[in-house]
Structure 1
Amino acid sequence: MSRYLLNKFLYTVDRDPELVERYRNDPRGTVEWWEANVANTLLNCVSGESSTWLTFEDAEREALASHDHPRLFELGAHPFLTLTLFIAMFERDHEGLGFQKLYAEQLAHFSLPYPDITT
């Protein structure tokens, strides 16, 4: 499992409005495209530099493809990264702070100690 790769996905998608919309409308296709084209590029580095070994595990890929933020948290994705991305995708579908409240409710079953979110 790579918490780094989960967090990198959330971070990079959240910073590109076109990717946010793509992920909202075609999550599975976006995850597959991102894994094939972006996962092994180095974050904040000159273009042309890349690695070759980073891939999602099936559980990570499925949680991303199904927008399952409680499962992502369980797998070690940072909750602030999921929250900011999912607000960008779903806040428009809820009144006021409706999405933020739903997000909190869906994570309420977690208790200390929380899943490890270190990368």
Structure 2
Amino acid sequence: MSKYLLNKFLFTVDRDPDLVERYRSEPRATVGWWESSYANRILGCHAGESSTWLSFDDTEREALATHDYPRLFELGAHPFLTLTLFIAMFERDHPPLGFQREYARRLAHVRLPYPDIAT
């Protein structure tokens, strides 16, 4: 499991409006494409700089592919990254602040101490 890779996915997808829409409409395909194309790129470097060892495990891949943000949080994804990305994807489907309330409702079972979000 790689909290770093989960957070990298959330961070990079959230910053590209086209990727946000692609992830909203085709989550499983987007996760697979991103993992094969971007997972091993080093943030802040040109496309030629990359590593070879990063990949999602099956649990992470499934949580991303099903938009399961409570599970992502339990896996250690940063809550600000999940919230901002999922607001961008689903706020339009809810009344004002409706998605934020849904997010809070679905994470209401989580009690302190929260899962470790350090990468």
TM-score, structure 1 normalization: 0.99
Q: CA deviation at 1:98?
A: 0.2
Q: CA deviation at 1:46?
A: 2.4
For 1:56 and 1:70, the matched residues in 2 are separated by: 17
Structure-1 residue corresponding to 2:35: 35
TM-score, structure 2 normalization: 0.99
Structure-2 residue corresponding to 1:87: 87
For 1:82 and 1:57, the matched residues in 2 are separated by: 18
Q: CA deviation at 1:88?
A: 0.3
Give the gaps of 5 or more residues in structure 1. Answer: none
Alignment of 1:8-27 (within 5 A): 8-27=8-27
Alignment of 1:64-75 (within 5 A): 64-75=64-75
For 2:94 and 2:47, the matched residues in 1 are separated by: 39
Over aligned residue pairs, what C-alpha RMSD do you find?
0.5
Structure-2 residue corresponding to 1:58: 58
Deviations 1:8-56 (A, max 9, x none): 0000000000000000000000000000000000011123000000000
- % identical aligned pairs: 76
1:96 aligns with 2:96: yes
Given residue 15 of structure 1, which amino acid in structure 2 is its aligned partner?
Answer: R
Given residue 24 of structure 1, which amino acid in structure 2 is its aligned partner?
Answer: R
For 1:14 and 1:6, the matched residues in 2 are separated by: 12
Number of matched residues?
119
Deviations 1:49-80 (A, max 9, x none): 00000000000000000000000000000000
